[in-house]
Structure 1
Amino acid sequence: MTRNRPVPKVSAEDAAFVRNLVIYEDDKVIVFNKPSGLAVQGGGGVARSLDDLLAVFAKSNGKRPRLVHRLDQGTSGVVITARTQPAAAFLSEEFASRRTEKTYLALVQGTLPAHDEGTLETPLVKVAEAGRPRMIAAKADRKGAQEAITHWRILARAGDNALVEARPETGRMHQIRAHLSIAGMPILGDWLYGTGAQSAPRLMLHAAKLNICHPDGEAMKFEAPVPEDFRELAETLGLQAGL
């Protein structure tokens, strides 16, 4: 957040769009309900990102809100940003120290476990395949392997489909997607770890809740309602009882 940073121009349409995504805001933070398909950061041919749109909330000196965590482009749900440098440092430390509680919902398909809850602790390592980074299972002593812990619970079942609640304890790239795929129940619409468009038009992963300490010291809970396309597919699959 450099002083006197030029504020990028944002169209009136995009300004209205990003303001409509706001769940909560005050002088320290802004919380958004990011739709699937909107990238959090630019680069790599991304035409529009949440980071770009944060210019709408910039101060007159050019300071604008700052990202403190990420969601994959296909994932919908809660994203918190910081309005000041001290708030950004505080929130970043909350995530780094694993003091936040993140709850995701996923529609999956595969060989479902007999039990309804458990913990996935397979270490993950980043590899590049055809120029695309992805996470694969790794032995703990492999170079570059990262500890990864995901707690999961099946909320509803219908044949080989399920609605899964996932609570990642660590924050590795693609962690929930990779872990559920390794467990034999990839997320519908996941083009990298599942069957992509054969199962759903987009990645059916939603960041539903975020429990975090506000920079002012208050414990806060933010929730994003399930998107309509997610709800409709859950109903089609007979999984609506879990929502």
Structure 2
Amino acid sequence: MEVDPKQTALRIDKFLVDRIPNLSRNRIQNGLKEGHFLVNGLPVKPNYKVAAGDVVMVFMPKPRAQEIEPQNIPLDILYEDEDLLIVNKKPGMVVHPGFNNTSGTLVNALSYHFKDLPTSFNGSDKPGLVHRIDKDTSGLLVVAKTEHSLTHLAKQFYDHTIERTYNLLVWGTFPDEEKEGTVKSLIGRSAQDRRVYTVLPDDATYGKHAITHYKVLKDMRYVSLVECKLETGRTHQIRVHMRHLGHPLFSDAMYGGDKILKGVSTGKYKTFVENNFKICPRQALHAKSLGFEHPVTGKWMQFNTEIPQDMQRLIRRWEDFLRYG
């Protein structure tokens, strides 16, 4: 990769961690010491600062694919044919195995219930997967059953022709002129916390473009029920964009939504909110609908699912609180 002409001096390990997905800074530093990264044809130390025009070459060996253990985990399958299936993922289920999550994932379940799922797009450790949603996000996922379907669906995601709608509960209310809108930004890892993503300045030299359309469905004085439609599907996109607007998702610990952000922090209200956190101990986010062109028939397929029980109960409690106080 060639360093952008506008790039300011930056340590090469920091430069690379934002450009190579799923590779930790520690592994990059070890790779630099072992000569797996070259700048302008020469090995460099982790504290080397890249400059405009530098050419960085990567020779890191790919990590060995993890062997998937098929597990008899029940799946909520809304639709299935010879080419694909639609899964309604429950909250708390990780989509594919990774560090600290080697079992109990959606992929472990898929490997048990379906044999010979395609792997050309994501590798043998993510059979059939075209996209993913976070562990604590519930809702719809499409899974490919053939190589043709995998390629065709992946292209639709790449071309942004897939329709995805999410329902979410956020802190605060929106002014009348902001009850519907679009957020366009660059999204990248936070410099302060690598687990967290953030909106970057427009002239940032890293990050990915992200577009979210939102509409307020219900104003409940302290919180709002919102619908989001994605044009792009960046990591934590909705969570990042809502926080950027000043409305973190309710109970979203990673993005600051797990504390009282609207209303007093004392008395009965405090107890009420804390009980709500216990009812929905995750970000209140649900992948509600999914639409795409069938990879074989060309027919438009549209799927919808109900908001899960924890979020339904949460919404009812806020509605009752607003009504009765």
* TM-score using structure 2 length: 0.65
Q: Is the 8 A contact 1:105 1:166 kept in 2?
A: yes
- 1:152 maps to 2:214: yes
Residue 126 of structure 1 corresponds to: 189
Q: Is the 8 A contact 1:7 1:58 kept in 2?
A: no
CA distance in 2, matches of 1:204, 1:213: 29
Residue 214 of structure 1 corresponds to: 294
Unaligned runs of 5+ in 2: 1-66, 119-126, 260-273, 321-325
- Structure 1 residue 25, shift from structure 2 partner: 0.3
1:4-153 alignment runs, 5 A limit: 8-11=69-72, 14=73, 17-18=74-75, 21-46=76-101, 47-59=103-115, 62-63=116-117, 66-110=128-172, 112-115=174-177, 116-127=179-190, 129-130=192-193, 132-153=194-215
Residue 239 of structure 2 corresponds to: 177
CA distance in 2, matches of 1:48, 1:35: 12
Deviation digits for residues 75-106 of structure 1 (CA, Å, limit 9, x no counterpart): 00000100011100000000010001100000
Q: Is the 8 A contact 2:173 2:221 kept in 1?
A: no
Q: RMSD between aligned alpha carbons?
A: 1.9
Unaligned runs of 5+ in 1: 1-5
- 1:227 maps to 2:282: no
CA distance in 2, matches of 1:106, 1:48: 25
* TM-score using structure 1 length: 0.86
**How many residues matched?**
225
Percent sequence identity over aligned pairs? 33
Query: 2:319 aligns to what SS in structure 1?
Result: coil
- Structure 1 residue 7, shift from structure 2 partner: 7.5
Q: Is the 8 A contact 2:117 2:128 kept in 1?
A: no
Query: 1:148 aligns to what SS in structure 2?
Result: strand
Q: Is the 8 A contact 1:111 1:184 kept in 2?
A: no
1:181-192 alignment runs, 5 A limit: 181-192=243-254
Deviation digits for residues 33-86 of structure 1 (CA, Å, limit 9, x no counterpart): 001100111112113110111112333xx4465100010111000001000111
Change (3 A) 1:63 1:100: closer
Change (3 A) 1:42 1:117: same
Q: Which structure has more RCO (C-alpha within 8 Å, separation ≥ 6)? A: 1
Change (3 A) 1:7 1:202: closer
CA distance in 2, matches of 1:77, 1:209: 8
- Structure 1 residue 191, shift from structure 2 partner: 1.1
- Which one has a larger percent strand, Structure 1 or Structure 2? 1
